[in-house]
Amino acid sequence: MEIKQENRLKESILVTGCAGFIGSHLCEKLLNLGYQVVGVDNFDPYYSIDLKMENMEGFKRNKAFKFYQLDLCQTGVLNMIQEDVSLIVHLAGKAGVRPSIEAPQSYIDSNITATRNILDFMNEKGIKKLAFASSSSVYGNNATVPFTEDQNVDHVISPYAFSKKACEVLNHSYHHLYQLDIINMRFFTVFGPRQRPDLAIHKFLKLMINDETIPVFGDGSTARDYTYVDDTVDGIVKTCEFLFKSENVFETINLGNSYPIPLNQMIEAISKASEIIPNINRLPMQAGDVNQTFADINKAKELIEYSPKVSFEEGIKLFVEWYKKINVREIVA
């Protein structure tokens, strides 16, 4: 299945959200594999722009990398890109379940409108391949676990999840109308070095190091299918290579770890890896939060040979090591 080095050198992949957590890891991986990479980011101030610049330090001067600072919500802005692009990995978008409840329109703009602009750009330029970053949030509080891609996802419980579900449906319409080859990748709580500072693992470790109280919503039994970033990136790369070899494709796949971790266990793992005893403040559950996420990854295994390797405990150790090494500054999410 793996594409040979000489063939990779002929392919150029556009990565939106290239300065973000997942995007920066993906760009490094693609460049190391020999692909040409065009990166797009708007440096949304949702979290520190300095951190995003640091994310790009390892590859922004690579001769095979070209960067454009663009706002994908603006119609026609992608026409500034001069390079020939063979495939797009669309990672950019507004993230966060709770903020989406406060500002739903911004999620419609940054996720749905931006994705439509990507699809229109593809159609205009004759780009036929798209790997789209969706989310496990589309499953809502589905009672049937593990989550499979053929389950009904009409009952989302946050504007963020709605925006991702809407993009999946929009992608299908462009596949049908314009024969675009598209795979929707549903990510499951990705974590690891460079994780956004507003996400639980990053936020909890910071609070523990600063000897501050950890806010825990609910009794700690809610669970997430945490997936280490290297495994997610490997799944994205395999998705790209599958798309390069395929025609008339529209698929949706789960990229998770298929091993849900309860919130209490997550805190224990951070405590063990950091050797800090947490001070916990238990609070009521918040609106929009799902009870658990749990990926069935059999389809991804069969379709793209996806196979996550990093255990949750090992991933937490690697994250704590990274955090201590870079001595993360105080961040206001």
- Judged against a pLDDT cut of 90, whether residue 284 lies above it is answered with no
Q: What is the pLDDT of residue 98?
A: 86
Q: What is the pLDDT of residue 2?
A: 60
Place 329 in a pLDDT band, splitting at 50, 70 and 90.
Answer: very low
Between residues 5 and 194, the one the model is more confident about: 194
| pLDDT tens digits, 291-312 | 899 999 999 999 999 999 999 9
| Averaged pLDDT score across all residues of the chain | 93
* Residues labelled as active-site residues: 160
Place 97 in a pLDDT band, splitting at 50, 70 and 90.
Answer: confident
- Please state, in angstroms and rounded to a whole number, the distance separating the CA atoms of residues 297 and 255: 7
Tell me which range, 150-164, 281-295, 316-330, is most confidently predicted by mean pLDDT.
150-164
Between residues 283 and 238, the one the model is more confident about: 238
| pLDDT tens digits, 52-95 | 999 999 999 999 999 999 999 999 999 999 999 999 999 999 98
Place 46 in a pLDDT band, splitting at 50, 70 and 90.
Answer: confident
Supply angle C-alpha 49, 313, 253, rounded to 5: 70
Q: Are strands 181-187 and 250-255 parallel, antiparallel or unpaired?
A: parallel
Burial class (CB in 10 A: 0-12, 13-18, 19+), 250: middle
Place 145 in a pLDDT band, splitting at 50, 70 and 90.
Answer: very high
Q: What is the pLDDT of residue 5?
A: 57
Q: Does residue 280 sit in helix, strand or coil?
A: strand
- Judged against a pLDDT cut of 80, whether residue 333 lies above it is answered with no
Q: What is the pLDDT of residue 328?
A: 46
Q: Output the pTM of the full model.
A: 0.94
Q: What is the pLDDT of residue 65?
A: 98
Q: Are strands 214-217 and 223-224 parallel, antiparallel or unpaired?
A: unpaired
50 contact partners, CB below 8 Å, separation of at least 6: 329
Find the mean pLDDT for residues 253-268. Answer: 97
Burial class (CB in 10 A: 0-12, 13-18, 19+), 30: buried
Find the mean pLDDT for residues 99-125. Answer: 96
| In CATH, 5-190+228-256+295-308 is 1.10.10.10 | no
- Please state, in angstroms and rounded to a whole number, the distance separating the CA atoms of residues 258 and 97: 21
- Judged against a pLDDT cut of 80, whether residue 8 lies above it is answered with no
